[in-house]
């Protein structure tokens, strides 16, 4: 649980970022060391539930890729068997700091047969309004015919229930790294206008970052 006022000012020796992002970042919400430790803890929870199974992870690109990499690395250390697939889906578009409500799922080349009769864990970077999952979960259930579907997310944003889709309220993430306040954050795979995925820590974007035209 990350409190509403938990973001801290950056330290030059601890919080490293490309020089071209100077002025774009407001405060650090979650430091990389805390993210790494939480990846280990979430991996242990998954291992406890699937020790005698081989779940299929569906990594939602692009945002979840960094979390997925570190999570599965920790599962390897625990000798947990698994397989994985990648799927591209998004409810954000371009230079927006709020979800559009329109979800794009690129599933044309996705091998749904790999999910049939299997325990599926969808790996997300962040769950806020639940718009992406409300579209994605039914697609996976209909075309993949898995035995079960669970959600593992790095971040779960605390927002008003009326903004969260009712379908997803009934299907909360079984595994969540951090509960965070309702702020637009980036880094560790999360982007704004396709920038900032290459940050080690998770940051709150600054006004200058929001107004940046995306040309580096």
Which positions are annotated as active-site residues?
A: 128
Helices (H) and strands (E) counted in the chain, each on its own, are 5, 9
Residue 19 CA to residue 9 CA, distance in Å, equals 17
User: 106: helix, coil or strand?
Assistant: strand
Cα–Cα distances in Å, from 114 out to 31, 75, 83, 168, 173? 35, 20, 9, 24, 22
Residue 126 CA to residue 129 CA, distance in Å, equals 10
Pairing outcome for strands 104-106 and 119-127: unpaired
Q: What is the DSSP string of 2-68?
A: --TT--B---TTTS---GGGTTTEEEEEE-HHHHHHHHHHHHHHHHHHHTTS--EEEEEETTTHHHH
């Amino acid at each position: 649980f990350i409190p509403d006022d938990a973001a801290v000012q950056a330290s030059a020796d601890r919080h490293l970022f490309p020089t071209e992002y100077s002025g774009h970042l407001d405060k650090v919400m979650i430091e990389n060391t805390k993210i790494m430790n939480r990846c280990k803890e979430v991996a242990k929870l998954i291992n406890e539930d699937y020790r005698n199974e081989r779940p299929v992870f569906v990594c939602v690109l692009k945002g979840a890729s960094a979390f997925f990499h570190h999570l599965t690395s920790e599962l390897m250390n625990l000798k947990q068997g698994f397989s994985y697939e990648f799927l591209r889906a998004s409810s954000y578009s371009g230079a927006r700091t709020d979800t559009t409500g329109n979800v794009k799922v690129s599933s044309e080349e996705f091998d749904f047969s790999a999910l049939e009769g299997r325990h599926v864990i969808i790996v997300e970077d962040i769950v806020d309004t639940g718009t992406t999952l409300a579209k994605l979960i039914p697609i996976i259930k209909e075309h993949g015919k898995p035995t079960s579907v669970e959600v593992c997310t790095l971040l779960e944003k605390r927002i008003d229930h009326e903004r969260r889709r009712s379908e997803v309220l009934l299907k909360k993430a079984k595994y969540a790294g951090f509960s965070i306040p309702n702020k637009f954050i980036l880094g560790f795979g999360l982007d704004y206008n396709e920038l900032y995925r290459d940050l080690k820590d998770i940051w709150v974007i600054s006004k200058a970052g929001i107004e940046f035209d995306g040309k580096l």
